[in-house]
Structure 1
Amino acid sequence: MGLYDQLTHPVALLIFLLTLFLPILIGFLTLRRTKNQSDFFIGGRMMDKFVVALSAVSSGRSSWLVLGVSGMAYTLGVGAVWAVVGYITAEMFQFIYLGRKLRQETETYKSITLLDYFESRFQDKKQHIRLVGSLIISIFIVAYVAAQFNAGAKSLSTALNVPFLPALILSAVLILIYMVMGGYIAVAYNDVVRAIILIIGLVIFPAYGLAKVGGLSALLQTLAQLNPASIDPFSLGLGAIIGFIGIGLGSPGQPHIVVRYMSIDDEDKLRLSAVIGTFWNVVLGWGAVFIGLLGRYFVSSIEQIPNHDPEMIYLVLSSKFFSPILYGLIIGGIFAAILSTADSQLLVVASTFVRDLYEKILKKTSIIDEKTKLKLSRWVVFFSGVLAIFLACIAQDLIFWLVLFAWGGLGAAFGTSLIFALYWKKTTKAGILAGMITGTVVVIIWKLFLKEATGLYELIPAFGLACVAIWIVSLISSAPPNLDEP
């Protein structure tokens, strides 16, 4: 039975549609709780530890894990696991250390966004950090959202046998409706639901597949016969492994992830959130890798995959393994991953334009009432989604690498700045600006001109050079008088 034929079963189609439209219901139910800008962007700092943990896991994984990593494991073999090792390790430490300190300081400074914090921390009255940071976020986050819309459209198009453009528009509309209604609160609770669906798709799915082939040893034995390098985690070479592990360096610079730490009701609960989040990060990461390996076992030739696209192996396997009813839930799991990242990133775009640019720079001498700010936030979410749709049409086949590019840009620009701001007392405003600009420029130049020659992921050199820039410039510049040190 083909991919499309599975969803012609009425119950399968019903389950699939429920996973699509449930977020809208949650958005409607949370509409009344979203009364001001703080509610819209960080849930009024009243989110539960379990919600924060599962929301952080769900929003951070995206189509990159479900489609990208499984597709890479299909192509490269066990070595694909290095792509998840870095971010799992980084986010564990973020929950325990960085998240707690960030939660404390952002409450002290009454910061709603990451740029709020930087401006208050360094007494940037001329708002240079806010302006530069806003431009960087605009470049990378909108590209990130476009990648998620792209993935959603690919999945819908393949599963429902419809053209790419209608599938793209439907994917975007489903997100925008509940986003405009409920903001962060709707996003967080939807992310919990999606995390549960993801767990089904990336735990039960590979477990069933392993049982079907006779266990792990049988799977590895067959893969070794097809290609011995596919079961060797070190076959990729040291450079590629370092690059993949380096993906974790981007975690502290992702605004849509670190905002979760700012939203928890009590920073002491972040340690428990770390346990919950790390456990599911490990399980889901390995689940995606095993799906790719199982794909190579059952689908030995890429010619058997629609459009010869390895990122579709998740869909192909689920149609082979499961009844139409479970297939509907599995396809819903793909959307769970995609939507949970795209909605969080749209919130970052909205907070950047409304809070960081409009309210704090363009209208800094005016008093804007909460109702107006809330309305503006909703409009920005809508128009940002429209722009992301346009970009998704341009780059239809680059989910994995487009996500890594955006991840690298944000990680180099903001991850370095946040770590120095929280943990090095001598950091200055000039140092932060130097780090943001250096990280962004190096990511772009490395991606365009040096990536192919070196084989090194652009985040690695960009992160290192951004740290050097912050350190050197901070040493030769001065902090403002009476600066409150962290």
Structure 2
Amino acid sequence: MQSIIIIEFILYLVLMIIVGYLVSRRSKSHADFLLGGKQLPGWALAFSERATGESAWLLLGYTGFVFATGLSGVWVAVGIASGIIFAWLFLAKRFMKEAKDTGALTLPGYLAYRFGKHGKIILWLSTILIFSFMMFYFGAQIAGAGKTLFAVFNIPTKIGAVLSVIVVIILAYIGGFVTVVWTDMIQSVMMLVTLVALPIIALVKISEADLSISEALVVAGPSMDSWTGGAIGFSLGLLLFNNFAWFFGFLGGQPQLSARFMALRSKKEANQGAFVAITWTLLAYSGAFMIGITALTLYQGQIFDDVEMILPFMILDLFPPWIAGILLAGILAAIISTADSQLLVITSSVSEDIIRHAMKKELSEKRLIAISRLTIVGAGIVGLIIALTSKSLVFLVVSWAWAGVGGTLSPAVILTFFWKRYSGVGVIATIISGLVSTIVWISTPLDAIATSRFTTFFIAAAFGIVFSLLFPNKKEKTSETVGTD
């Protein structure tokens, strides 16, 4: 059995590298390397955006979360799905237009262009913010890969993490954004197959064994069969809002996601992408939720040392080896697709935002691409170290990163798009307050009361509004280049 799965895993990795190499020949300039040169179709960008947005967190973290919490775990899916739908319907076209008008290749670069007088400070602060949290997000993906390979092949977690980093670095290194998008598209389909097929088979097994989901939930714990987790009053409000609060990280503040919007070519492509992304989201999150619930029913009474390994356990238990290998590759697909996009975000912050614009280094396209590739390797090594030394759960680490980056930059994007009085000082206040408040919040018991995914967003927004009113922009000509004085 294991030999069949190993062969399929190896074939999958080889396929990804071959596809990555073939499409990498389209990437000729630094703009191509970071944003694809506006040559990618909307449906491919949508699949890539979804594969990037969902990771080991969805297949391992969220399924394990539902297994541990029961029906109340649905509110996480409701919050995330709402955020994704909102972003594609109301923000994607605006990002596309702003990227075309400004020529910006990154989210920080766009903010710097819009507030040119304060552009350099915005670029430096954004890079510090992104690097601080995105590295831990990346590390969580590698940790998830190590856990998966250990669960499936009994490969030591550290060795699995090293192997995963090597594959991720290769894919990001050879072709940048174009390679990542096309390999993401394949991986996104594999993820969806896993999330849809597994709960269907699980439901069939439950029916054949004459098991009851409702009875299993009651046996699992006093609040497992409650959509509100047994909470009432104020506690109920906190439970619903803390779980729903993932919504705020999707409002344009995740640079690895907004890059897909910025790469769109036309309104038609944006509409096409929205349909694909929303359909994918509804199917994937319904499937992930049902995986957790059906696992509670099938394995009631069993003790799992790590609930985040429930999905690979189910796959190995319910499917023949050759199918199990394909579905398990879906987990690795989720990890790789998110991790390589995160590497590109970190890379673009260094090569495009800092070296090219903040430091104003006049370098050739070849030199910029070389710097980007060196950054990919360096960041990959740092992320591996984090993965090997961190003891936190995938779900928890991703939650912190979602607050630190998405909760901080989302209000900056929303205010820039929709409030004319938002100022450069306001952007700076937004980023600093978001960074500091997230660190303070997750370092204290406060995060257990009200999640930083919510508090960071509103603290950053409040500081941005107040400082914009106190220090409005002076009337000046629009900057010609990103980050000019």
TM-score (structure 2 length as normaliser): 0.94
Distance in 1, Cα, partners of 2:199 & 2:117: 50
The separation in 2 between residues aligned to 1:257 and 1:267, in whole angstroms, is 18
Supply the AA of the counterpart residue of 2:128.
L
Greater mean alpha carbon deviation, residues 62-71 or residues 38-47: 38-47
- Cα distance in 2, alignment partners of residues 445 and 268 from structure 1: 43
5 Å matches for 1:452-467? 455-467=449-461
Q: Which runs of 5+ in 2 are unaligned?
A: 480-485
Of 254-263 and 275-284, the range deviating more from structure 2? 275-284
Name which of structure 1's ranges 210-219 and 127-136 shifts more when overlaid on structure 2. 210-219
Aligned residues, how many?
A: 472
1:240–1:455: 8 Å Cα contact kept in structure 2? no
In structure 1, how many angstroms separate the alpha carbons of the residues matched to 2:42 and 2:57? Answer: 25
Contact 1:168 1:389 in 2 (8 A): yes
Q: 2:468 is matched with which residue?
A: 474
Q: C-alpha offsets along residues 433-468 of structure 1, whole Å, 9 cap, x if unaligned?
A: 10111111111111111435x521112111111111
Q: For residue 71 of structure 1, what is the aligned residue in structure 2?
A: 64
The worse-fitting range, judged by mean Cα deviation, of 17-26 and 399-408 is 17-26
The equivalent of 2:200 in structure 1 is: 207
1:185-334 matches, cutoff 5 A: 185-214=178-207, 218-227=212-221, 229-235=223-229, 237-251=236-250, 252-303=252-303, 305=304, 308-334=305-331
Alpha-carbon separation, structure 2, partners of 1:355 and 1:160:
40
Q: Which moved more, 1:155-164 or 1:338-347?
A: 155-164
Per mean C-alpha deviation after superposition, the further-off stretch among 350-359 and 272-281 is: 272-281
Alpha-carbon distance between aligned partners in 1 of 2:94 and 2:207, rounded to the nearest angstrom = 47
Does the C-alpha gap of structure 1 residues 302 and 42 become closer, same or farther in structure 2, counting only changes over 3 Å?
Answer: farther
- What does residue range 161-180 of structure 1 map to in structure 2 within 5 Å? 161-180=154-173
Aligned to 1:3: none
3-state SS in 2 of match to 1:231: coil
Which among 14, 20, 24 is matched to residue 27 of structure 1?
Answer: 20
Q: Partner of 2:395 in structure 1?
A: 400
Q: Hey, what's the Cα distance between the residues in 1 that align with 2:21 and 2:406?
A: 33
Q: Compute the displacement of 1:346 (Å).
A: 0.4
Q: Work out the CA distance in 1 between the residues paired with 2:200 and 2:103.
A: 46
Give, in angstroms, the shift of residue 199 of structure 1: 1.2
**Is 1:347 aligned to residue 340 of structure 2?**
no
Deviations 1:68-124 (A, max 9, x none): 010011110111111121121112111122111111011111000111111111113
The alpha-carbon deviation at position 427 of structure 1 amounts to: 0.5
Q: Secondary structure at the match of 1:76?
A: helix
Superposition deviation, residue 349 in structure 1? 0.3
User: What is the aligned partner in structure 2 of residue 106 from structure 1?
Assistant: 99
Alpha-carbon distance in 2 for matches of 1:116, 1:226: 50
Counterpart CA distance in 2 for 1:484 and 1:276 is 36
CA contact (8 A) 1:302 1:310 kept: no
Q: Contact 1:100 / 1:261 at 8 angstroms: preserved in 2?
A: yes
In the TM superposition, residue 222 of structure 1 has moved relative to its aligned partner by 3.0
Pick from 26, 30, 38 the counterpart of residue 31 of structure 2. 38
SS in 2 for 1:204: helix
Work out whether 1:418 is the aligned partner of 2:394: no
Q: 1:21 to 1:444 in 2, by over 3 A?
A: same
**2: CA distance, partners of 1:175 / 1:315:** 21
Identity among equivalent pairs (%): 26
CA contact (8 A) 2:111 2:119 kept: no
Letter in 2 for 1:103: M
Query: Please, which of 423, 431, 437 is the counterpart of residue 426 of structure 2?
Result: 431
Question: Aligned residue for 2:6?
Answer: 13
Tell me the residue number matched to 2:440. 445
C-alpha contact (below 8 Å) 2:76/2:246 kept by paired residues: yes
**Contact persistence 2:238–2:449 (CA under 8 A):** yes
1:302: how far off? 5.0
Contact kept? 1:40, 1:184, Cα under 8 Å: yes
The one-letter code of the counterpart of 1:455 is I
Question: Which residue identity lines up with residue 28 of structure 1 in the other structure?
Answer: Y
Q: How far apart, in 2, do the equivalents of 1:124 and 1:36 lie?
A: 28
Which amino acid letter does the alignment assign opposite residue 244 of structure 1?
A: N
- In structure 1, how many angstroms separate the alpha carbons of the residues matched to 2:475 and 2:220? 66
Q: How far apart are the structure 2 equivalents of 1:257 and 1:466?
A: 20
Structure-1 residue corresponding to 2:483: none
SS at match of 1:339: helix
Q: Distance in 2 between the 1:275 and 1:400 partners?
A: 28
Amino acid in structure 2 at the alignment position of 1:272: Q
Q: Distance in 2 between matches of 1:248 and 1:125?
A: 29
Corresponding position of 1:157: 150
Tell me how far apart the structure 2 counterparts of residues 313 and 170 of structure 1 sit (CA, whole Å): 22
Residue 145 (structure 1) shift: 0.4
Q: What amino acid does structure 2 have at the position aligned with 1:152?
A: A
Report the CA distance shift for 1:315/1:126 in structure 2 as closer, same or farther (over 3 A): closer
Distance 2:302 2:76 in 1: 22
Note if 1:92 corresponds to 2:85: yes
Query: Secondary structure of 2:300's partner?
Result: coil
When the two chains are superposed, the root-mean-square deviation of aligned CA atoms in Å is 1.8
Amino acid in the other structure paired with 2:336: L
| CA-CA distance at 1:265 after TM superposition | 1.6
AA at the equivalent of 2:173: V
> Is the Cα–Cα contact under 8 Å of residues 412 and 436 in structure 1 kept in the other structure?
no
Q: Could you tell me how far apart the structure 2 residues matched to 1:361 and 1:130 are?
A: 7
